[in-house]
């Protein structure tokens, strides 16, 4: 599964789970529901990580400050334990995640191949 594909899980009771990425955005427009994080991506270096979490605590995960933090140079850590996955600093062709986008690509591939732990 590439970053441009959408992974959807539909339950018998009608609940839908989606890996929320840019490709999923058109599907999610106008839908209401509960959002649940299945991973965290954060800088690997201690000082940068502390600044990242401080900025996210103050300004949130959306908006211009969050967008700016996603442009920081790596290395990045991908923690997929919330969705039933591992903590990853390297995966497949990536020796280290040099950008946030590299970690997101790995996340989409990993959950696409392995699935994610359902909230059900």
Distances (CA, A) of 68 to 12, 94, 98, 104: 40, 23, 15, 15
Mean pLDDT in the chain? 77
pLDDT tens digit string along 19-68?
A: 655 555 555 566 666 666 778 899 988 899 999 999 999 999 888 999 99
**Radius of gyration of the chain, Cα coordinates, nearest whole angstrom:** 15
Task: Say yes or no to pLDDT of 92 above 60.
Answer: no
Look at residue 32 and tell me if it is in a domain.
yes
Residue 50 CA to residue 27 CA, distance in Å, equals 34
How does 64-79 read in b/e, with b if 16+ C-beta sit within 10 Å? eeeeebeeeebbbbbb
* In-domain check, residue 119: no
Domain residue limits at 90: 8-114
> Can you give the pLDDT at residue 120?
46
pLDDT in tens, 61-91: 888 999 999 999 888 999 989 888 888 875 5
* 93 within a domain of the structure (yes/no): yes
Structurally, how many domains does the chain consist of?
1
């Amino acid at each position: 599964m590439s970053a441009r594909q959408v992974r959807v899980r539909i339950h018998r009771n009608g609940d839908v789970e989606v890996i929320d990425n840019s490709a999923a955005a058109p599907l999610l427009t106008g839908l209401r529901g509960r959002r649940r994080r299945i991973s965290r991506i954060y800088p690997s270096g201690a000082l940068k990580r502390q600044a990242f979490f401080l900025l996210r605590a103050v300004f949130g995960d959306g908006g211009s400050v969050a967008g700016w933090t996603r442009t920081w140079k790596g290395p990045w850590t991908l923690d997929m334990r919330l969705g039933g996955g591992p903590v990853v600093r390297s995966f497949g062709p990536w020796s280290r995640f040099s950008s946030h986008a590299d970690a997101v690509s790995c996340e989409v591939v990993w959950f696409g191949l392995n699935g994610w732990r359902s909230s059900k």
